[in-house]
Structure 1
């Protein structure tokens, strides 16, 4: 369907054949879904990360650090069809290498788990024994539909079934293991001889999990990286996952700490549906240095007490010296907010990376300042350095701190990744991953060309990023400046939403207290100009304008013949005249999928509705774009505009999209449209 051409007449037989071919290709793809990660390259990583999870420069995926009471998740981003062979869950195989580094000489905690679940998100999940997947209210509920293999390093939640802290367990819908054994492996060439595997502190550990969908058997094998795969699994249990899993599941890992803590790493991962997963290449796996736990004893404590007064005196002298040195040398003292933010780069390193912020390295300019391309040897990658310039130093610092606070902790494949920052006197700099294809607006308007397939995927990517901001992160994030110039396009033509200088955060279930009007003309929701209160729906409005902009190849407000032509009103006019495809970007030259174009234009009008209560949520938007639900605006419009005008208008009036504009009063052409459209509630 992606290669079909829109024309005046569409041959129904050709369309049906194309749909059949698409269905067959998707079916064959689902039969052999597989992926392999021999280490995790941050620049190419497409995993869905949440919580404390980050990718280290070495390529190791760290689920949690040694902080207490934290949770980390890492999931393959696409759902896996588990029932493509009928009513029985499909066979699968997965191989991964993990490493657990305890925080002290005592046992750490609490372990990690491989998980198959209906969603990569676990609302209200708790740390500790619940491993970031369950909580006391849903633990053990059959409605969870979760299969989990845990690699635990403390005594289990249920002491009677998980007596050994160093154990492997198979769990269904809760943290009570239906089967559990101490971590060990069978030595090749011997009978019933087992060697213990210390899950934490010993080094990298391999795990194989294999499910036979025909015989309904789960095999779990665990053994050190230096050892070949044992001849028999540690556990082989009869379990029918057909009664546990839903149709589409997400595969990934969860880890948690509690009163005790450890760093939990995944070094490599492979997976295959209906087949054997590819073995990982140990020579390509990243290395995690084993941290030696700190130790203390009575003698050390006594020595510390005896020298406390001397140490205190030295510290006071050093503090006075540092303060004097910084005052004389004009070094800045870190403020409180700076201590909790991501990596701080040295100004001299950024200056060198951008060749002294040379004009030839400049890749973008905006109201905030300029963006420069640079190469940082410290991380071995290209970066984009955003240099903020503000006439109001206090406001500039607020926006700078807001962007670090929000973007610095967000991790999603459709959001720009913040590498770090720098504050040197009045220079405020943010360091991002370099996105080579520039911004969406430059590709739309400045000589570039985007196919319809690329445009449609970009719009879905932005929607996925906004859904993460609104509903799937720890707090609600309102972007407040969604527009085409803030959407960057990477090497794979995937969208990454950036520029969080105006973003605001608040807790789920609370209301935003933001009351000042900010944003870009053409994308600002009408209620924002009246009450000045930003919300999820103001982001949805701006996204609706973006939908229309990408489909039509026109800016939200175009000045033509001394008049302001408002994009939304222009699309409504085309629809009321009976052929919405008149609004489509001429550069596409009819090379688009008609049904998708109808969807994007109709959804753009719905999202940019003057009344916020009519607009859909970003979760609903993504369902429309993915084809999971039908957009209520259209049944199907004729590509030739043969539907009667009153039929089309009735659809508009049913949703209130036409507002005060009626077919009897609409008589102005696009060329004579005035800015009075702003007065009707669109801006």
Structure 2
């Protein structure tokens, strides 16, 4: 041991040379076979359960959770050097949703300059960034995401993928979750939401700048071939010192994200985890207290309403009323406003009693009652997109009502919202029903396959309400509560205004920026970027 009079000068020299505590830990490693008593820095929903699970999220919607190793690690070989140190990490994760095929948003392993993520958003942003700084170089963020919802704004490839992220959530490399079988070389899919633990290895070679991500079910040995292998120059992304940990967030659906064990090593392979010592994941998911799941996630058979040939009129009317009830809950009765943004027949499920329920909330957005949603990306499906979206890009409750109007007309008429005839002309269902209404025979638009099964006054109500919901002016459309009251007979439906006499949806959509070439993709989800690309293509024809 050094004498006291020499210890302080030596410490000052080490600090001056950049060999202080962080540099001294250059080859640091740690192993957590469970997290009971672990020294971690946590925030938000993150907690350690009594049996040693690191739980990043709980059954609370629209929140985030983080857990980090408490001290920063030295990722560059020397301060201000571009030479990176290699690192390796292994961890076991598990995702448990209220349903074994549906989940909230995912989770991520993170290397970050700071443990402060107060400005990051939950939901699709995974608690890592916000809409304003997604992709900014100043984030100094590296992550491997395990995402369970397809988000078109990040160009996600699927709702079950693993991605390598740099400074944002537009992955530089991604693939469907799974692994390559060593014996056959075949790819084996892994469902991230099947409630089973899975092991992940992330390795970075500081010399070649190669990132490898490998995963497998917990009881399968590490595959030789990684799932992802990409060259990523992290020298300007990761600061000299940075924190390592995990991030997660919840969305509309209820879900819990767990880490069972974690090891890390700088300049070497991460120590193997003791699988037999890891805590067990919960067997069941407690029933959520909120009624939102009763509205949006029924135990339903995957029957699509669009298949209206295996439904009679009373069934179709019941489905319409069921979807209206669910939309009313999302818009008005929940603690926040949920704008679905992709209401269409193929996103409606039927339960055993033929109740219609909204599904697929991958494009949904939440905001507080009485505030502006601030959405600026056009997403959804042609035929259900309100005309104002082509100009403003701002989704709202009114644009959801428009889509619901198109859905009502589709169910009643048995026709798609947009079709092409033999001469490649685009025919919009709203315009066709309007023609029937102008001729005084609006019920003539009802699906002829229904025969005499139709209750005429109900059919007239649905068709006229569908037109009212499809009004070109957002302010002239009824609220969701009024829609429900009209359908229940609690409120008399007003007569359609004379403005409809000259209303043509196809022309209006084109005037608002929905190019005719785009209209030939009626059942495809369209983003603003895709619309721009298609417009470019059509301009060259």
TM-score by length of 1: 0.40
Match of 1:151 in 2: 146
1:222 is displaced (CA, Å) by: 1.2
Q: How does 1:25-44 map to 2 (within 5 A)?
A: 26=21, 29-41=24-36, 44=37
Q: 1:62 to 1:19 in 2, by over 3 A?
A: same
How big is each residue's C-alpha offset from its partner over 1:100-131, in whole Å with a ceiling of 9 and x where there is no partner?
A: 00123551110100011111111221111100
Match of 1:166 in 2: 160
Q: Does 1:268 align with 2:247?
A: no
Tell me if structure 1 keeps the 8 A contact 2:30–2:264.
yes
1:14 is displaced (CA, Å) by: 7.3
Match of 2:91 in 1: 96
Of residues 184, 188, 192 in structure 1, which corresponds to 2:182?
188
1:50 is displaced (CA, Å) by: 0.3
Of residues 198, 201, 204 in structure 1, which corresponds to 2:197?
204
Q: 1:17 to 1:80 in 2, by over 3 A?
A: closer
Higher relative contact order (CA 8 A, sep 6+): 2
Structure 2 Cα separation of the partners of residues 15 and 292 of structure 1 = 55
1:30 is displaced (CA, Å) by: 2.4
Q: How many residues align structurally?
A: 288
Tell me if structure 1 keeps the 8 A contact 2:22–2:241.
no
Tell me if structure 1 keeps the 8 A contact 2:100–2:195.
no
Match of 2:51 in 1: 58
- Segments of structure 1 that go 5 or more residues without pairing to the other structure are 300-683
Of residues 210, 225, 236 in structure 2, which corresponds to 1:217?
210
How big is each residue's C-alpha offset from its partner over 1:67-113, in whole Å with a ceiling of 9 and x where there is no partner?
A: 21111100000011111254222110000000100123551110100
Structure 2 Cα separation of the partners of residues 230 and 3 of structure 1 = 48
Q: 1:187 to 1:202 in 2, by over 3 A?
A: farther
Q: 1:163 to 1:248 in 2, by over 3 A?
A: same
Q: How does 1:279-678 map to 2 (within 5 A)?
A: 279-291=272-284
Structure 1 Cα separation of the partners of residues 242 and 202 of structure 2 = 16
Q: 1:297 to 1:84 in 2, by over 3 A?
A: closer
Q: 1:190 to 1:146 in 2, by over 3 A?
A: same
Q: Does 1:45 align with 2:14?
A: no
Q: 1:17 to 1:76 in 2, by over 3 A?
A: closer
Q: 1:3 to 1:50 in 2, by over 3 A?
A: farther
Q: 1:106 to 1:90 in 2, by over 3 A?
A: same
Tell me if structure 2 keeps the 8 A contact 1:111–1:152.
yes
Tell me if structure 1 keeps the 8 A contact 2:22–2:73.
no
Structure 2 Cα separation of the partners of residues 27 and 158 of structure 1 = 38
Match of 2:241 in 1: 248
1:163 is displaced (CA, Å) by: 2.5
Match of 1:604 in 2: none
Match of 1:142 in 2: 137
Tell me if structure 2 keeps the 8 A contact 1:157–1:176.
no
Structure 2 Cα separation of the partners of residues 261 and 298 of structure 1 = 17
Structure 1 Cα separation of the partners of residues 95 and 21 of structure 2 = 38
Match of 1:178 in 2: 172
1:170 is displaced (CA, Å) by: 0.7
Tell me if structure 2 keeps the 8 A contact 1:63–1:73.
yes
Q: 1:3 to 1:71 in 2, by over 3 A?
A: farther
Tell me if structure 1 keeps the 8 A contact 2:165–2:171.
yes
Tell me if structure 2 keeps the 8 A contact 1:170–1:180.
yes
Q: 1:136 to 1:14 in 2, by over 3 A?
A: closer
TM-score by length of 2: 0.50
Tell me if structure 1 keeps the 8 A contact 2:44–2:66.
yes
Please report the RMSD computed on the Cα atoms of aligned residues, expressed in angstroms: 2.4
Match of 1:451 in 2: none
SS at match of 1:129: helix
1:248 is displaced (CA, Å) by: 0.9
SS at match of 2:52: coil
Structure 2 Cα separation of the partners of residues 298 and 91 of structure 1 = 48
1:182 is displaced (CA, Å) by: 0.2
Structure 1 Cα separation of the partners of residues 13 and 300 of structure 2 = 76
Tell me if structure 2 keeps the 8 A contact 1:49–1:74.
yes
Q: 1:271 to 1:18 in 2, by over 3 A?
A: closer
Structure 2 Cα separation of the partners of residues 275 and 166 of structure 1 = 30
Q: Does 1:278 align with 2:271?
A: yes
How big is each residue's C-alpha offset from its partner over 1:533-586, in whole Å with a ceiling of 9 and x where there is no partner?
A: xxxxxxxxxxxxxxxxxxxxxxxxxxxxxxxxxxxxxxxxxxxxxxxxxxxxxx
Q: Does 1:126 align with 2:121?
A: yes
Match of 2:386 in 1: none
Match of 1:340 in 2: none
1:262 is displaced (CA, Å) by: 1.1
SS at match of 2:164: strand
Structure 1 Cα separation of the partners of residues 23 and 148 of structure 2 = 40
How big is each residue's C-alpha offset from its partner over 1:401-433, in whole Å with a ceiling of 9 and x where there is no partner?
A: xxxxxxxxxxxxxxxxxxxxxxxxxxxxxxxxx
1:21 is displaced (CA, Å) by: 6.5
Tell me if structure 1 keeps the 8 A contact 2:62–2:122.
yes
